[in-house]
């Protein structure tokens, strides 16, 4: 397995497959880089170099008692890009990973970046206008992570796929995959990540974008409703476009992998 060592000694696990134009993927909370496997395989077979990494505290990367901040996550991404000597890259994020990309742009600029794709983005930040992103809701999430993580992650998997609506019913294998990834990560990082990703204001970060950007969301996202995320975020980004999947849930990468891969390919090839 491949690892990069960050300045503070954190070991960051990453996957780097293929040759050609580079794409770097940033995973959502509470998952890891394997969330992107279907997209990575499809784009690898289309001639791209595909790179995904486990955020510090998640998956196979180091679990430490410090560093769960959005600035640190953005700097880790910058280190990965620098160490792999990447240029003219596409950055693709899902959920909380979109905030990581946004802060990277704000802190490090877009010199090595040609395009950005943000899927089900946790942007621009907390909003008391929707119950899904309210402080009460986030406090409840923190309490459940702390006191009953195993049970809560199973419940959360069903929410990510809209099991209650039945429009994109996941297989038992997908639910197991989600649960296993969430249970592999550091409980402290999962707990801290709720505040890091959902209680950060990314308004100014989004205004710093200056490359073509595509927003993708499901219209029935119950985790981060589009009215409080994509519909707001797209107005802050220059040269931005948006695409919605009718009736689709928050977890698009796993729920409809072929459609997401096709949309990524079309946007990058345009």
Instruction: For residue range 150-190, list pLDDT tens digits in order.
Output: 999 999 999 999 998 866 678 999 999 999 999 999 999 99
pTM for the predicted model, two decimal places: 0.96
pLDDT at residue number 132: 57
Q: Considering only CA atoms, which of 101, 91, 96, 70 is closest in space to residue 21?
A: 91
- What is the domain range of residue 165? 2-269
* Percent of the chain residues topping a pLDDT of 90: 87
Euclidean distance between CA atoms 47 and 67, whole angstroms: 35
CATH number of the domain residue 87 falls in = 3.40.50.1820
Token code pair at residue 132: 């899904």
The count of domains in the chain is 1
Euclidean distance between CA atoms 113 and 105, whole angstroms: 9
- CA 15 vs. chain centroid, Å, equals 16
pLDDT at residue number 37: 98
């Amino acid at each position: 397995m491949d690892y990069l060592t960050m300045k503070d000694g954190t070991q960051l696990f990453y996957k780097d497959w293929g040759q050609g134009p580079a794409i770097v993927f940033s995973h959502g909370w509470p998952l890891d880089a394997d969330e992107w496997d279907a997209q990575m395989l499809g784009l690898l077979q289309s001639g791209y170099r595909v790179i995904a990494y486990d955020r510090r505290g998640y998956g196979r990367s180091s679990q430490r008692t410090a560093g769960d901040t959005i600035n640190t996550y953005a700097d880790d991404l910058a280190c990965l890009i620098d160490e792999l000597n990447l240029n003219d890259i596409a950055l693709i994020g899902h959920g909380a990973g979109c905030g990581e990309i946004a802060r990277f742009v704000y802190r490090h600029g877009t010199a090595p970046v040609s395009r950005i794709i943000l899927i089900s983005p946790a942007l621009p930040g907390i909003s008391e206008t929707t119950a899904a992103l309210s402080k009460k809701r986030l406090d409840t999430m923190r309490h459940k992570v702390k006191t009953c993580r195993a049970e809560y992650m199973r419940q959360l998997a069903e929410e990510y796929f809209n099991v209650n609506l039945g429009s994109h019913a996941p297989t038992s294998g997908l639910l197991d995959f989600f649960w296993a990834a969430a249970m592999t990560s550091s409980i402290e990082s999962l707990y801290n990540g709720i505040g890091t990703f959902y209680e950060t204001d990314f308004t100014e970060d989004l205004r710093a974008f200056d490359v073509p950007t595509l927003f993708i969301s499901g219209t029935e996202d119950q985790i981060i409703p589009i009215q409080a995320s994509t519909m707001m975020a797209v107005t802050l980004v220059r040269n931005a476009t948006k695409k919605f999947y009718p009736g689709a849930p928050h977890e698009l990468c796993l729920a409809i992998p072929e459609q997401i891969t096709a949309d990524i390919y079309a946007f990058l090839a345009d």
